[in-house]
Each structure stands twice: as C-alpha cells, then as structure tokens.
C-alpha cells in the first residue's frame, strides 16, 4: 500500500494534506476502475478484482492495460502481479484488524 509519509511528492505537505490527497487519488481510481470491464468476467470490476485494478492503475497510471505483463524494472514485478500482491496485503491487514473473516 501507499506510504504517504515516505512519498517524495508529498513530503512538504502536512499529514492531513497527504491523507486527503491519497484519499482523493484512491476515490478517483475507484471511480475509473468501477466503470471498466473486467475481461475475466465481462462485467464491471468489483470486489477483489476492483482492488487489483485500482492498484494496477496506481502503480503504472490510469491508461495501463488491464492485467498488463509490463514489468517495472526497479521493482522487478509486473503490473498484474503488483495488483495481486497489494490486494493480498490489503486483505491480510483487514484480517489482522478482525474486519474480514476467513
């Protein structure tokens, strides 16, 4: 997930401004992704796949093809894998807070 405290683009902003900016970005990405069609279902993205798609776009930009196999050289991971990994971390965090059952 995004660590706003270490993000160079926001380091000169207060924590409140950083959080607001992050929430706005996430909201915008959710709006975009929820109108796109998930090629695995033929329906709009929802649930786990929505989480994956939002993180793909966060990682590589809103115009990145869905489930792209493009690799980020510095991180050594594909866009698709980044979305999957971030979804798994998100779900793990929810479980650790007792917000998600097995």
- The pLDDT assigned to 31 comes to 97
What are 34-88's pLDDT values in tens digits? 999 999 999 999 999 999 999 999 999 999 999 999 998 888 999 999 999 999 9
CA distance 37 to 92: 26
Alpha helices in the chain (DSSP H): 15-33, 47-60, 79-96
Residue 58: exposure state from Cβ atoms within 10 A (0-12, 13-18, ≥19): buried
Section 16-40 average pLDDT: 94
pLDDT at 9 over 80: no
User: Considering only 3-7, 34-38, 56-60, 98-102, which range has the smallest mean pLDDT?
Assistant: 3-7
């Amino acid at each position: 997930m995004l660590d706003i405290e270490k993000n160079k683009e926001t380091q000169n902003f207060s924590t409140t401004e950083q959080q607001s900016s992050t929430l706005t970005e996430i909201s915008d990405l959710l709006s975009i992704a929820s109108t796109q069609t998930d090629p695995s279902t033929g329906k709009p993205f929802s649930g786990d796949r929505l989480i994956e798609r939002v993180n793909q776009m966060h990682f590589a930009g809103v115009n990145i093809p869905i489930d792209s196999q493009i690799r980020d050289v510095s991180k050594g991971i594909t866009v698709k894998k980044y979305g999957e990994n971030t979804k798994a971390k998100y779900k793990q965090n929810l479980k650790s807070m007792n917000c998600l059952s097995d």
